[in-house]
Structure 1
Amino acid sequence: MEIAGFGVEEWLNKWEKSATYDISQSTISSMTMAEALTLDGNDGASFYDMLDKQKMNYGWIEGSPAFKREVATLYKHVDPDNVLQTNGATGANHLALYALIEPGDHVISEYPSYQQLYDIPKSLGADVEYWHIHEDADWYPDINELKSLIRPNTKMICLNNANNPTGTLLDEAFLKQVVDLAKQVGAYVLVDEVYLPLDDPAAFTSIVDLYDKGIATNSLSKTYSMPGIRVGWTASNHEVAELFRKYRDYTMICCGVFNDLLATYILKHRDQVLARNRQLVMNNLNIYKQWVASEPRVSVVMPQAVSTSFPKLDIPEDIEAFCVRLLKEQGVLLVPGSRFDVPGHVRLGYCADEDTLKEGLKRLSAFLRQYD
């Protein structure tokens, strides 16, 4: 099996630990364990009471019933039994593609987006066509292009909503048009949904609440600021969940007793987590907007209060060379757009802590002055 190198992950694996001012990430500033434990109002006593009673065996293979119930409440029409715990959203995406895609299948993937969604199907022998997003249309794809791409044998349409790296959110009306086209040929629609618009969470609609053959993947890594526990999930109909169970047995056993307990605890206290993150996102988004307005070499389609953005830099230099020099000379980390096959742009994660964001942007501006 041949597969392309994972561009963004290879970049971060190489450089992220070298950064002083990391404004490359798409996570909302990760919580410390101490921060997480304050959510119960009793310094984590409720969590540790549960933990102290657990044997460190394999635990619940698919995720505990409590975890499944909490995840199911995030949707309108998902039975807890059809929620399967995975190793992050990357594990969820891999499971869905591994279980459903076969050699010769036709797959349509939003592009650029999270690289798993097109390169894993390619590695499995699928015929993958790109459904391009367009900067001049606020990074939306064109529904008429999807109409021209879809075939009678299209097996799956893969989306990333909100999009990584751009932060663009596909609204419900647009998703319904996608679903209408998928229904015509019986295609699955797989949507990586790890980013929630925190200015207006109600504006987000999950694919599983729109379409019986919709498959949602998600995790606690981005919106919930807990990437360290590596817990994600798939949400689907019963038939798909039953199929996933077979393939899941080959890819993982469980996420671990501790991780399941902490994931459930975070979801039980999600209102507090989202309140914390909403304040951080909206504050940092205002800082970011002001910076963009004052920086002549930067333009951007602003994200809808999700944690990733994709500004364009007006510089006469290869974007990867620029990002390496920026890191080495200023300690500031960005992800070059070439890692998403869009040179000239960078992924800028404005949802680091406020001090890191301000100093990172200040240093980035100073570095850009060399071209004036």
Structure 2
Amino acid sequence: MVNINDFAVESWMDAHENNCKYNLAETCCASISVDQLRDLSETNDGKVFDTSKALTYGAIRGSADLRSNLARLYSAKVATPLPPDNILTTPGAIQANYLTTYALVGAGDHVICHYPTYQSLYEVPKQMGAEVDLWKATPENEWTPAIEGLEALIKPNTKLIIINNPNNPTGAVLNKSFLQKVVDLASEKNIILLADEVYRPIFHSISPLDKEFPPSLLSMGYKNVIVTGSMSKAYSLAGIRIGWIASRNPEIIETIASARHYTTISVSHLDEQVAAFALSPATVHGLLARNIQLAKTNMALLEKFALKNEDECEWVKPVAGTTAFIKFHREGKPVDSVDFCKKLLEKTGVMFTPGTCFGEEWRGYVRVGFVNHTEMIEQGLNEATKFVRKNLDDVDLAA
């Protein structure tokens, strides 16, 4: 039987997200309805999906409209366009990451994973029988791991290097020159690179004009790259459960497509129609403008919160994505993040995520999702400030 460890962050969300008043654990940009999506679009007919179509399995590898829209987005500002055939759709990015690992990794393989990050990125390779090493980032280096550390971890049997950019939970990015070093190392050893880019392109604190602005790993010239994404985080449509896998290597796509037959067969073509509408030229720019502005507005609120509570917390300001990783302490000693989050929820209705959901060494940290509706974020942070001032002394310290 496969040894499956508890998926800590999803267990926490499952237990608490429907019982809170202020959900500051949510990692999606504030979700929208189909009607709101239609209102964001410049299209005239406003037709999001075709209700006259028979509800068949649909296109096995993904609808032509959706894959074409994704290919167009990945082909922007690159010399070689990405063919739509180099994209597979999946039920969310979590399935995209799972399927990629399922298809490519097994016993005897070695995997290196950027850390801290979403737990499934390193747990699933273990379930497949691979040896996994964590490539650790630290707040002292603004959550950028050392390239020398990656080089030291590589073994003769290293099959896959996994990165998460922008990063969950820290909101940090691996910048362009750093990504080039990763690509150079991987290409030298012919190692496949998997980039979970689910929080791309919510860049709220770095300009696309910045020379170090991080491109998609797919655009950096290395053939053995896979990127995954979804409609959930940056595009506010978690409820349609649409994700994707893209690579410039058709052999990788064929291998994953073959494995895919054993899992999902296809994705709901009603959901794919909504996703295709959202990613169409008439809609995607308005949708992303809404979400990037929301991230910028709410980031200002989070900065004020950190400043108000600077004697009790510390952080590295996020650069992108929807999350921040904040360390709380009492007289210099880190609090127990689980006890902190439970008591915060009980006293105020505010939901944060304990840092221990991302590893036991993050016991003093909490993850804050700050790109939900602004009014709710502001009220929730105000309640959290009251809790820190009145109740922090009642919170256990980390062991």
Taking structure 1 as the reference length, the TM-score comes to 0.96
What residue in structure 1 maps to residue 19 of structure 2? 18
Instruction: Quote the offset at 1:305 in angstroms.
Output: 3.5
What residue in structure 2 maps to residue 263 of structure 1? 275
Instruction: Quote the offset at 1:131 in angstroms.
Output: 0.4
What residue in structure 1 maps to residue 375 of structure 2? 355
Which residue, 193, 212, 218 being the options, matches 2:197? 193
Q: Which runs of 5+ in 1 are unaligned?
A: none
Partners of 1:197 and 1:304 within 8 A in 2: no
Which residue, 127, 130, 134 being the options, matches 1:126? 130
Name the SS for the 1:346 alignment partner: strand
Name the SS for the 1:66 alignment partner: helix
Q: Does 1:165 align with 2:169?
A: yes
Q: Does 1:339 align with 2:357?
A: yes
Partners of 1:153 and 1:185 within 8 A in 2: no
What residue in structure 2 maps to residue 289 of structure 1? 303
Name the SS for the 1:224 alignment partner: coil
User: In structure 1, how many angstroms separate the alpha carbons of the residues matched to 2:342 and 2:3?
Assistant: 28
1:44 to 1:280, Cα distance in 2 relative to 1, 3 A: farther
Q: Does 1:248 align with 2:260?
A: yes
Name the SS for the 1:113 alignment partner: coil
Partners of 1:197 and 1:204 within 8 A in 2: no
User: In structure 1, how many angstroms separate the alpha carbons of the residues matched to 2:171 and 2:65?
Assistant: 31
User: In structure 1, how many angstroms separate the alpha carbons of the residues matched to 2:392 and 2:100?
Assistant: 46
User: In structure 1, how many angstroms separate the alpha carbons of the residues matched to 2:337 and 2:147?
Assistant: 31
Instruction: Quote the offset at 1:321 in angstroms.
Output: 1.4
User: In structure 2, how many angstroms separate the alpha carbons of the residues matched to 1:14 and 1:291?
Assistant: 26
Count how many residue pairs are aligned between Structure 1 and Structure 2.
Answer: 370
1:17 to 1:318, Cα distance in 2 relative to 1, 3 A: same
Q: Does 1:314 align with 2:329?
A: yes
Instruction: Quote the offset at 1:331 in angstroms.
Output: 0.3
Partners of 2:341 and 2:354 within 8 A in 1: yes
User: In structure 1, how many angstroms separate the alpha carbons of the residues matched to 2:152 and 2:345?
Assistant: 42
What residue in structure 1 maps to residue 152 of structure 2? 148
Partners of 1:285 and 1:305 within 8 A in 2: no
Q: Which has the higher helix share?
A: 1
* Residue-by-residue CA offset, 1:140-187 (whole Å, 9 max, x unaligned): 100011111112221010111111100111111111101111112211
Taking structure 2 as the reference length, the TM-score comes to 0.90
Name the SS for the 2:194 alignment partner: strand
1:366 to 1:147, Cα distance in 2 relative to 1, 3 A: same
Partners of 1:68 and 1:80 within 8 A in 2: yes
User: In structure 2, how many angstroms separate the alpha carbons of the residues matched to 1:166 and 1:175?
Assistant: 17
What residue in structure 1 maps to residue 58 of structure 2? 59
Q: Does 1:205 align with 2:206?
A: no
Instruction: Quote the offset at 1:44 in angstroms.
Output: 6.7
User: In structure 2, how many angstroms separate the alpha carbons of the residues matched to 1:283 and 1:180?
Assistant: 37
User: In structure 2, how many angstroms separate the alpha carbons of the residues matched to 1:74 and 1:92?
Assistant: 18
* Pairing of 1:103-114 with structure 2 (within 5 A): 103-114=107-118
The aligned amino acid for 1:220 is M
User: In structure 1, how many angstroms separate the alpha carbons of the residues matched to 2:346 and 2:44?
Assistant: 40
* Residue-by-residue CA offset, 1:235-285 (whole Å, 9 max, x unaligned): 012110011111011110222121010000000111010111121111111
Query: Which shifted more, 205-214 or 135-144?
Result: 205-214
Instruction: Quote the offset at 1:41 in angstroms.
Output: 4.8
The aligned amino acid for 2:93 is A
The aligned amino acid for 1:204 is P
User: In structure 2, how many angstroms separate the alpha carbons of the residues matched to 1:197 and 1:37?
Assistant: 21
Query: Which shifted more, 145-154 or 134-143?
Result: 145-154
Instruction: Quote the offset at 1:52 in angstroms.
Output: 2.6
User: In structure 2, how many angstroms separate the alpha carbons of the residues matched to 1:197 and 1:204?
Assistant: 12
What residue in structure 1 maps to residue 68 of structure 2? 69
* Residue-by-residue CA offset, 1:315-358 (whole Å, 9 max, x unaligned): 46421011111111110000000110111001101111111111
The aligned amino acid for 2:270 is F
1:124 to 1:361, Cα distance in 2 relative to 1, 3 A: same
Q: Which runs of 5+ in 2 are unaligned?
A: 76-80, 394-399
What residue in structure 1 maps to residue 143 of structure 2? 139
Instruction: Quote the offset at 1:42 in angstroms.
Output: 6.7
What residue in structure 1 maps to residue 87 of structure 2? 83
Name the SS for the 1:114 alignment partner: coil
Partners of 2:202 and 2:291 within 8 A in 1: no
The aligned amino acid for 1:238 is P
Partners of 1:299 and 1:311 within 8 A in 2: yes
User: In structure 1, how many angstroms separate the alpha carbons of the residues matched to 2:202 and 2:257?
Assistant: 31
Query: Structure 1 segments of 4 or more deviating over 4 A?
Result: 41-44
Name the SS for the 1:311 alignment partner: strand
